[in-house]
């Protein structure tokens, strides 16, 4: 099986559906943050190296519309180029890879400019939407159903700002080697995710 190309067809944000071309008009926000930072992709000689073709496809789309992932340094600093000159820097603090049980992945990053800590998650709608407690959830569920009726794959993204206390719990869990249980807590409905976006993808093989 040869992957020919991946196409983002439409996406839903804040209860409205947009064609992919509208990505060119997006400003830097939580949506673009998740799209460009919630992954395990590496950059080698200006090429994205990914174990998942989905993740490479998302970064290719972001780059096409002016949000370029520049790579991750040995000290876990991730950089995003916005347009021609602006650079955003984040430190990746933790990553919990996708697995078939949770059906989602999460990363925790710290904004080098503001110091704010963010938890970014993406995954199947059945894994993400039940854990969201704010935002246009009902409309997004309808959008997901509409995408599915067209035979499109759907992926849901969400975002949560973490306090230093919440992140400290994760750090302690890492020392105790119980990261997964802490992430499960953070990904549960008790964490009060702020819903940000869902979008559909269609690919040609």
How is the chain split into domains, by residue range? 5-204
pTM over 0.85: no
Beta strand 86-96 pairing with 117-123: unpaired
Cβ atoms 76, 63 nearer than 8 A:
no
Strands 86-96 and 77-82: antiparallel
Decide if 23 contacts 61 (C-beta within 8 A): yes
pLDDT (mean) for 107-132: 89
pLDDT digit string, tens, across residues 66-91:
999 999 999 999 999 999 889 999 99
Please write the tens of the pLDDT for every residue from 15-49: 788 877 888 888 888 888 999 999 999 999 889 99
**Average pLDDT for residues 83-103, to the nearest whole number?**
88
Distance between CA atoms of 71 and 181, rounded to whole angstroms? 29
Which has more confidence, 203 or 175?
175
Rounded Cα distance, 27 and 181, in Å:
34
Q: Compute the C-alpha angle 130/134/137, nearest 5°.
A: 55
Cβ(204)–Cβ(7) below 8 Å: yes
- Please tell me the class of the 5-204 domain: alpha beta
């Amino acid at each position: 099986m040869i992957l020919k190309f991946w196409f983002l067809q439409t996406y839903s944000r804040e209860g409205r559906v947009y064609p992919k071309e509208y990505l060119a008009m997006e400003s830097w926000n939580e949506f673009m943050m998740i799209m460009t930072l919630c992954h395990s992709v590496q950059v080698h000689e200006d090429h994205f190296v990914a174990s998942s073709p989905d993740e490479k496809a998302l970064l290719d789309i972001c780059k096409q519309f002016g949000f370029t992932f520049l790579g991750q340094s040995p000290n876990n600093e991730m950089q995003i180029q916005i347009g021609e000159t602006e650079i955003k820097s984040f430190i990746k603090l933790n990553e919990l890879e996708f697995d078939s049980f949770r059906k989602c992945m999460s990363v925790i990053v710290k904004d080098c400019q503001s110091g704010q800590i963010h938890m970014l998650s993406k995954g199947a709608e059945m894994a993400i939407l039940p854990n969201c407690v704010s935002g246009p959830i009902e409309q997004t569920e309808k959008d997901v159903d509409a995408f599915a009726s067209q035979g499109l794959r759907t992926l849901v993204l969400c975002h949560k700002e973490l306090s230093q206390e919440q992140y400290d719990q994760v750090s302690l869990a890492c020392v105790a080697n119980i990261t997964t249980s802490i992430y499960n807590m953070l990904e549960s409905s008790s964490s009060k995710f702020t819903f940000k976006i869902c979008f559909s993808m269609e690919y040609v093989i």
